[in-house]
Chains A and B, each alone.
Chain A
Amino acid sequence: MLEGLLIGLQTALSVQNLLMVIGGCLIGTFIGMLPGLGPMSIIAIMIPVAISMGDPSAALILLAGVYYGAIFGGSTSSILLNAPGVAGTVASSFDGYPMAKSGKAGKALTIAAIASFAGGSVGALLLMIFAPALSSVALLFHSAEYFALMVVGLSAIAAFAGTGQVAKALMMTVLGLIMATVGEGALFNMPRFTMGIMDLQSGFGFITLAMAMFALPEALFLVLKPKEMGGGNDGEIKDLRISRSEARAIAPVIGRQSLQGFFIGVLPGAGATIASFLGYAVERNIAPKAEQEEFGKGSIKGLAAPETANNAACTGSFVPLLTLGIPGSGTTAILLGALIALNVTPGPRLMIDEPQIFWAVIMSMFIGNLVLLILNLPLIPYIAKVLSVPRNYLIPFILFFTLMGAYIGQNNATELLLLVGFGVCATALRFADYPLAPLLIGFILGGMLEDNFSRSMQLYDGVAFIWERPMTLGLLAIALLLVVLPSYRARRARARAEGVADGD
């Protein structure tokens, strides 16, 4: 392995490949910032460039740089505009945007950068040490386990119990689950609930929905309730630095989520989006009561968790790609296509036949993460200034990027109608104080929940998989624990409070 490391380092540190890392990261970050343009479309655009270079290591290093650069950059628009650029950074806006709104945009971006850096680096380290062994982990999960994993994700909703909005949160989750059933599922030959509208046959787009739930209501709120939104946007970037106590608070979160995110990324059926939601859910549910209240209102933990997890998961998704030749996500599927175009066959033979490619990619991940950190930290004060733009300029700016983002991913004008329609509904729901995040969580998990559940039902001729597969049972137990724990804590706290009152 040491030999491989040296070869990799040597390859990755060549001038050409260093330029590739830096170029890839730059392109990825800047395009990733634009809402709607995810890593998948950026990589698809970059493929002709990469292939024409002819050198597989350089091409893969470039594309990998674009990939994690895009995830890195995607958080910027989530945090500043509440307009997630990439599905994987939707969860980052839950707490990132409230932070930015209260004048802590700089700090939020700094936390996002550091969390991403840590997640990516730890991921690369795990990839380096365990990649061959991890190929079996990638195959550990059957449909039954994926189903249980989605249930764990849904348990995030329970965390809203603390805010006294249980019923509302549950309603929104169910709404999200219902919306996920629209379109042609993987399991049915016929479209469902499309009302004969062809544009609905592939279901609602996640990015469109995320924009409609977050970015559009935000812009409408700026118009409708200007006073409420006034605070904090004075252009001062307060608190760029993270205090020591804050660092201490997010360090364990970053540690846990680097590992959790990476392992979820390794699973071919999950990916960065699921990893970020699960990361958010788990951190929220295990946080102490007082901090739990903070989640959704600008908790630094709530931002650090998904930011770490999505970057770690991106790195993790290279495990099935490089060691098995199986793409776990759309993005890695495109990468696989590019590799094959360059006459490189990813799979178990890659490490043996062409170790320089394998190791160079891993080494370039370390370099890329470092580049991204160095690139982003000094730019943060300038990027954060977006928020100091006067409202009459900012609103059209948000509207433009929201509409463009929804259109550009699908090239489909119907997305715009859906976006505006849902955006208006979402604004009404926000006025009624319904939380919108549970809807998105329900939506993103719903499809996979259903697919994996019915696959398992089919495979086991019933629900026998729940007790026949110990890992499924274990994950379901964890989900139950995550649901029960916060309400148990809440009850205990209430009991204690009552006890004190009695004492008086």
Chain B
Amino acid sequence: MTTFKLGRRALMATAVAAMAFGGSAMADGHKVADSIHFLIPGGAGGGWDGTARGTGEALTKAGIVGNASYENMSGGGGGKAIGFLIENAESNHGTLMVNSTPIVIRSLTGVFPHNFRDLTLVAGTIGDYAAMVVGKDSPINSMEDLMAAYDADPSKTAIGGGSVPGGMDHLVAAMVMEAAGKDALGVKYIPYDAGGKAMAALLSGEIAALSTGFSEAVDLANAGEVKIIGVTADERVSAAPDAMTMKEQGIDTSFVNWRGFFAAPGLPDDKLAMYQKALGEMYETDEWEEVRARNGWVNIHNSGDDFQSFLEDQEKVIGDLMKKLGFL
């Protein structure tokens, strides 16, 4: 009896899994690659997960890639997956790992023993600007107001974020304060363990402002729950045309949290070219546009050497900043 039940349960699980992963077989036409295995350094539901699955969805639906599979490998804030890809490079020529700005930050702080140079750089695909956000009832309406509030009472003007102190959200907040001519380390940064919790803290009035990703704030801003008082883009972003950039408000700084794909070290050139071609062609498809739009991502495509110089530039800018701010 029990074995029968067990069998049925296992069967159900398999059926569900098949339903979820098998829906991509009907692709044909201009196929570039047969299959891609996405390695996701974090758990299901995070930003990396969404990027890999969204990219895989667009690639398979558009017929550029025959099949996409996904593997979540959390641990070490992403460091485990990097180590895995390096140690098992030979057997992972079919694997693309998603990563983003933290690979630079965490290599600099030494949390990761490796850095991006230990991997094959495929392409940076998307980006998300950072934003400074306040609650809808807040008397603060611009960066100028925020600076005034900070000058009046620094200890009551706490800025929250969804990353650890010294992490990305803190870095952005410090960067903005620095550019505005304030003491970057004087700002009271309150860390939360997830973006959603930080947003709840903002709405509850616990913190005066929130440093977060633009795409995380844009829906709430359009719903009238929060006000975006500054975006770290060079020009206004079409998803929220009313939100002023930092530069418009005299704060000369910009920042983009990129996401992109890496492969195992020693990847053969033909394979690398194939993946880069697949990702490059993806931008032209309606399927990608649909995925991109619903996630509020910005296309920031850096392939191959461009990606390398982009990352080196990032490493230098962020490293200098972190040294200046005393994070390193």
Most buried by A among B21, B80, B155, B224: B80
**A contact residues around B196 at 8 Å (CB):** 268, 326-328, 332-333, 336
Proximity bits, A172-196, B CB within 8 Å = 1, else 0: 0000000000001111111100000
| Stretch from B25-33, B162-170, B174-182, B252-260 contacting the other chain | B162-170
B294 within 8 A of A: yes
Given contacts A30-B12, A198-B76, contact A190 B111 (CB under 8 A): yes
Please give the number of chain B residues whose Cβ is less than 8 angstroms from any Cβ of chain A in the complex.
62
Q: A334 touches which one: B44, B80, B224 (CB < 8 A)?
A: B44
Give Cα A459 to B167, complex, Å.
Answer: 19
Give Cα A45 to B23, complex, Å.
Answer: 12
Minimum Cβ distance to chain B for residue A152 (Å): 19
Given contacts A386-B2, A459-B206, contact A30 B9 (CB under 8 A): yes
Most buried by B among A44, A186, A268: A186
Closest to B47 in A: A337
**A contact residues around B12 at 8 Å (CB):** 27, 30-31
Closest to A201 in B: B76
A33 within 8 A of B: yes
A139 within 8 A of B: yes
How many pairs of A and B residues are in contact by the CB < 8 Å rule? 176
Given contacts A33-B9, A333-B45, contact A139 B203 (CB under 8 A): yes
A297 within 8 A of B: no
Asked whether, in the complex, the Cβ of B75 is within 8 Å of the Cβ of A325, the reply is no
**B contact residues around A188 at 8 Å (CB):** 164-165
Give Cα A345 to B218, complex, Å.
Answer: 11
**B contact residues around A340 at 8 Å (CB):** 219, 294-295
Asked whether, in the complex, the Cβ of A142 is within 8 Å of the Cβ of B204, the reply is yes
Minimum Cβ distance to chain B for residue A384 (Å): 10
A348 within 8 A of B: yes
Minimum Cβ distance to chain B for residue A292 (Å): 35
A138 within 8 A of B: yes
Minimum Cβ distance to chain A for residue B70 (Å): 10
Most buried by A among B23, B45, B205, B222: B45
B225 within 8 A of A: yes
Asked whether, in the complex, the Cβ of A191 is within 8 Å of the Cβ of B111, the reply is yes
**A contact residues around B5 at 8 Å (CB):** 382-383, 386
B317 within 8 A of A: no
Give Cα A455 to B223, complex, Å.
Answer: 28
B66 within 8 A of A: no
Give the residues from 126 to 168 in chain A that come closer than 8 angstroms, CB to CB, to chain B: 138-143
A341 within 8 A of B: yes
Proximity bits, B183-202, A CB within 8 Å = 1, else 0: 00000101111101101110
**A-B contact list, 6 entries, CB within 8 Å:** A48-B21, A187-B165, A324-B203, A336-B196, A382-B5, A410-B43
Q: A residues within 8 Å of B by Cβ?
A: 27, 30-31, 33-34, 37, 40-42, 44-49, 52, 138-143, 184-191, 198-199, 201-202, 268-269, 320, 324-328, 330, 332-334, 336-337, 340-341, 343, 345, 347-349, 382-383, 385-386, 389, 397, 410-412, 414, 451, 455, 458-459, 461
Further pairs besides A201-B76, A202-B77, A340-B295: 6, Cβ < 8 Å: A139-B200, A139-B205, A189-B111, A201-B77, A411-B71, A461-B155
Enumerate the 9 nearest inter-chain pairs by beta-carbon distance, A residue then B residue, closest first. Answer: A44-B44, A186-B193, A201-B76, A189-B166, A139-B204, A198-B76, A347-B223, A268-B200, A334-B45
Q: B residues within 8 Å of A by Cβ?
A: 1-2, 5-6, 9, 12-13, 16-17, 19-21, 23, 43-45, 49-50, 57, 71-77, 79-80, 83, 109, 111, 155, 158, 164-167, 188, 190-194, 196-197, 199-201, 203-207, 219-220, 222-225, 294-295, 327
